[in-house]
Structure 1
Amino acid sequence: MAYLTQPDYVKYVCSCGQMKPITSLYFCRHCLKIRCGFCICHEVDSHYCANCLENMPSSEARLKKNRCSSCFDCPSCFHTLSTRATLTQPRPDPAAGDAKVENKQAKKMYYLSCFNCRWTSRDVGIPDQPVASGGWPERTNPYAVRINQLLEYYKAIAHQEKQERLDRERKKFPIRGKYITLTDKTGLTGAMARNIAGLPSSESSSSAIANFVPSQASEEVEELSEDYYTKEVNLKQITTMAQRLAAGAPQPTSVSRLQPLARALSVKRSQRCRACDHNLTKPEYNPGSIKFKIELLAYYHMPEVKIISYEPVKPGETTALLLKLTNPTGHEMQIKFMQPEDIPEPEEIEEPQTIEKSLEKSLNLEKDMSWCKVVQRKPRLRAAGRLLAPDQTFTLAQRDDAAEYDDDAQHDTSDIIVWRKLNKLALRLQVVTPAEAEGVESVAGVALALRYSYRNTVPPAAPRDHTLHATLALHLPAIMH
């Protein structure tokens, strides 16, 4: 017998067919489905710096290129740089007539230092700053002007193509009233609407396209130095590929040209269900808080199954399997074991397609959710054994945090129930392995299904009881024996 504590030995089947542990799944209380990372949409709620916990809106983060202005990373080892203070004696200035500086006090200056690799801003010639926050000089990109021209050119092309597409779609439908568009009714012209929205005007887009000068290849190439192939290479003075890519546009080849890297901002994101568009997780806005406003994890809404121990699985024999069931909800739960093929197929309700719906979709007046449709796939369950599901239904009590530390477990004399403790239940089940099973020597798989009751308490609707199903795959590695 062997005791397993790894969660990956028990995997749940998502509604899209993916198999994941329960700690990596979500449970939507609105459509009552299991969701994995491929069945959810991610939305950025806020930007913040993980070092100084400064919170900033999306517009400000976009202007700062998603970088913090006061925190820096080491360009050598990518650890966070610390600001060090030092006292410097002011030097005499002959032009001002300061011949002696004995009576002047030492001035405090600041520089950046890495506690991991001992890199400092003095190593690359960056002068010390009189203030601790900000003011560190940055090397300008020599190709910044050309990059801005290319950005304006491609933005103008994208705006022109979008306007042509809207004009073609508008011509497909006949005019039914006096006003063609909403702007004609309100007196708001297209140019004024673009100015209010902050979009470039059609005249500026056409002028940007007309005045753009394309790049031209030059036949003159700078020649290499004579000792390029013969001089010795000191690898300590050459930057690595990771250091060059982290530097961005300059990409220095020498260590002496490394610059402190502005720390990238982190984001707090919320996750939505692709099917019903409801929130599954939503964190607090405060960057210093780790709490969630909404946290619909499957670990808190579905019965958790763990493998306590099992006997070695052998072809043509029946072995014992001990499972532990846990009810994480605050309501009583009824659980029954089934075979995966006995789970009923979900009923799919299709909305009728009308002319008005298709017209709104073509005019982009309705949010197009076709890209985020959850694709239903049948899971590939590689099960060498078959679980003998008992006919009885097991009852699990609700979770009680006050009695969580009670060690008294009720032992049962039943052939199936081993012991019962609060919202936990240990069962002894039988696994039958056919004689023609292959690959049992390394890993044996057992597939089973659960039918459990769930009480939905989503406001403002009244609490409702539902009967849900879940498919599980158990991996029983022989290496643990």
Structure 2
Amino acid sequence: MAYLTQPDYVKYICSCGQLKPITSLYFCRHCLKIRCGFCICHEVDSHYCANCLENMPSSEARLKKNRCTSCFDCPSCFHTLSIRATLVQPRQASTEASGDAKVENKQAKKMYYLSCFNCRWTSRDVGIPDQPVASGGWPERTNPFTTRMNQLLEYYKAIALQEKQEKLERERKKFAIRGKYITLTDKTGLTGAMARNIAGLPSTDGGSSSAIANFVASQASEEVEELPEDVYTKEVNLKQITSMAQRLASPEWQPAEVSRLHPLAKLLSVKRSQRCRACDHNLTKPEYNPGSIKFKIELLAYYHVPEVKIISHESMKPGEKAALLVKLTNPTGHEMTIKLLQPEDVPIVEEEEQKSIEKSLEKSLNLEKDSYSWRAICRPASYSALCRVREVTRDFTLAQRDDAAEYDDDARHDADDVIVWRKSNKLALRLEVETEASAASGAPARAALALQYSYRNTVPPAGNQPHQRNHTLYTTVLLDLGHVI
């Protein structure tokens, strides 16, 4: 598994300016752009438990506080707890009949308890009684501050509702024009609250105003509980004290001793779909079944953008030229034409796309927090390339992807200065890289390379718009060639 710790030697430049490997990028077939994690919107499709694979809607998951009611995690090592069965012998009951002592033996009863196979923690360690049923029925602790927490939630909900109504009133006055009325209530001056008062109905904001008026703020107390006298002299046993992670796992109680640890209800997992922020089309959409790992829509860049891999390269020395072997792969099912360019020859992206994304961010209520972060990140790519790839003026044609040809080991070697060999949808090129004479020894040797490739779009447009199948797209790749010697 050493390849998982290796750095990404080939990175692509996203449309927002981020440098990402091709495995972390998406490709939108509608706006024909490469998207990264900052250029997409995340939507939660469903909630499910990763242990029992129980699927539930968002409303039910919200009521259960995003936790499963039948699966638990170990409070000591946070592994999933298993249910174990044991036989319990009932107490023998003696009865007297006709002066003779008779002993009545009952059949053993099966009981269940929770156990961790990793750290050997059991529910019996904290005094939780065994249950006669394997699924459910485990006792739940009640939080002593539940009433206060509910009061705080109602108070802040009332404040949020009040601020929302004030915002609507300000917008109504802002867009009101003399002689033109947006709604009938603006023309007659009869608002919804006045109409409810005339009809004798209770006002909609009565509950919120009463919650604000009846709220009692917390008061700070100057009296603090004193520490015990032997706090500095008592010997501390670390095996009986919980760690910080164990305390924060249950924030309602935060047990200080190991003997007070209780099983943690397992957190729910989510299946999410991702949309392009520019055109609002789906990029990935998983199956609804939690046991399925397939996707209904999976527009990854790995399946649409030509892949570039470094085969080998010579040592990079200041002011000298070195050979570079790269491999190009066509992942699509159609023939692709690729041309190597310099990064400065790539056409500049128009600003209309960025404006459309900013408008979508402003309209979406769920992305108000992400709008500032996206504007701060979306910028031209900044990188320092001390190496320059010699320009190749010819075009290269790559065949379509053929799964059956993956098992063919025969590669055709061409007697060419640039093309080394061909195999199915793969092509190996020999390029020439020149390092700047002013490059310092030990500096990172990076080379930027632009690709112009043909793409065939098979998605029909919406409406009666003309459908253009063949497109010419561009992408910029940054190659990491080690360090300058």
TM-score, normalised via structure 1 length: 0.88
Task: Give the AA of the match of 2:288.
Answer: Y
Task: Give the AA of the match of 2:415.
Answer: T
Structure 2: stretches of 5+ with no match in the other structure: 197-202
Structure 1 segment 26-425 matched on structure 2, within 5 A: 26-92=26-92, 102-172=104-174, 173-174=176-177, 176-177=180-181, 179-180=183-184, 201-349=204-352, 372=371, 375=375, 376-425=378-427
Please tell me whether residue 473 in structure 1 is matched to residue 467 in structure 2. no
Q: Counterparts of 2:33 and 2:121 in 1: how far apart (Å)?
A: 52
Find the counterpart in structure 2 of residue 444 from structure 1: 445
Q: Counterparts of 2:277 and 2:115 in 1: how far apart (Å)?
A: 46
Q: Counterparts of 1:267 and 1:93 in 2: how far apart (Å)?
A: 53
Q: What is the aligned length?
A: 459
The answer as to whether partners of 2:92 and 2:106 remain within 8 angstroms in 1 is no
Q: Counterparts of 2:150 and 2:37 in 1: how far apart (Å)?
A: 36
The answer as to whether partners of 2:185 and 2:191 remain within 8 angstroms in 1 is no
Q: In the TM superposition, what whole-angstrom CA distance separates every residue of 1:262-292 from its partner, at most 9, and x where no partner exists?
A: 0000000001111111111110000000000
Please tell me whether residue 454 in structure 1 is matched to residue 455 in structure 2. yes
The answer as to whether partners of 1:282 and 1:294 remain within 8 angstroms in 2 is yes
Query: 1:347 Cα shift?
Result: 2.9
The answer as to whether partners of 1:4 and 1:308 remain within 8 angstroms in 2 is no
- CA distance 1:349–1:38, shift in 2 (3 Å): closer
Match for residue 434 of structure 1 among 422, 433, 436: 436
Q: Counterparts of 1:464 and 1:474 in 2: how far apart (Å)?
A: 31
For residue 404 of structure 1, give the secondary structure of its aligned residue in structure 2.
helix
Task: Give the AA of the match of 2:470.
Answer: D
Identity %: 72
For residue 184 of structure 2, give the secondary structure of its aligned residue in structure 1.
coil
- CA distance 1:262–1:367, shift in 2 (3 Å): closer
Query: 1:188 Cα shift?
Result: 11
Q: Counterparts of 1:399 and 1:151 in 2: how far apart (Å)?
A: 57
Query: 1:403 Cα shift?
Result: 2.1
The answer as to whether partners of 1:452 and 1:469 remain within 8 angstroms in 2 is yes
Task: Give the AA of the match of 2:293.
Answer: I
Find the counterpart in structure 2 of residue 356 from structure 1: none
- CA distance 1:68–1:243, shift in 2 (3 Å): same
Q: RMSD between aligned alpha carbons?
A: 3.2
- CA distance 1:335–1:118, shift in 2 (3 Å): same
The answer as to whether partners of 1:124 and 1:257 remain within 8 angstroms in 2 is yes
Structure 1: stretches of 5+ with no match in the other structure: 194-199, 354-359
Find the counterpart in structure 2 of residue 197 from structure 1: none
- CA distance 1:178–1:266, shift in 2 (3 Å): closer
- CA distance 1:56–1:100, shift in 2 (3 Å): farther
The answer as to whether partners of 1:90 and 1:101 remain within 8 angstroms in 2 is no
Q: Counterparts of 2:211 and 2:142 in 1: how far apart (Å)?
A: 24
Q: Counterparts of 2:93 and 2:26 in 1: how far apart (Å)?
A: 69
For residue 438 of structure 2, give the secondary structure of its aligned residue in structure 1.
coil
TM-score, normalised via structure 2 length: 0.88
Q: In the TM superposition, what whole-angstrom CA distance separates every residue of 1:142-193 from its partner, at most 9, and x where no partner exists?
A: 11111111111111111111111111211221363594359x9xx9957999
Query: 1:389 Cα shift?
Result: 1.6
The answer as to whether partners of 2:94 and 2:104 remain within 8 angstroms in 1 is no
Q: Counterparts of 2:482 and 2:122 in 1: how far apart (Å)?
A: 51
- CA distance 1:62–1:94, shift in 2 (3 Å): farther
Q: Counterparts of 1:4 and 1:453 in 2: how far apart (Å)?
A: 32
- CA distance 1:284–1:383, shift in 2 (3 Å): same
For residue 404 of structure 2, give the secondary structure of its aligned residue in structure 1.
coil
The answer as to whether partners of 2:255 and 2:261 remain within 8 angstroms in 1 is yes
Task: Give the AA of the match of 1:429.
Answer: L
Q: Counterparts of 2:354 and 2:406 in 1: how far apart (Å)?
A: 47
Q: Counterparts of 2:4 and 2:35 in 1: how far apart (Å)?
A: 25
Query: 1:308 Cα shift?
Result: 0.4
For residue 403 of structure 1, give the secondary structure of its aligned residue in structure 2.
helix
Q: In the TM superposition, what whole-angstrom CA distance separates every residue of 1:37-60 from its partner, at most 9, and x where no partner exists?
A: 111111000000000000000000
Find the counterpart in structure 1 of residue 199 from structure 2: none
- CA distance 1:350–1:474, shift in 2 (3 Å): closer
- CA distance 1:16–1:164, shift in 2 (3 Å): same
Task: Give the AA of the match of 1:106.
Answer: A
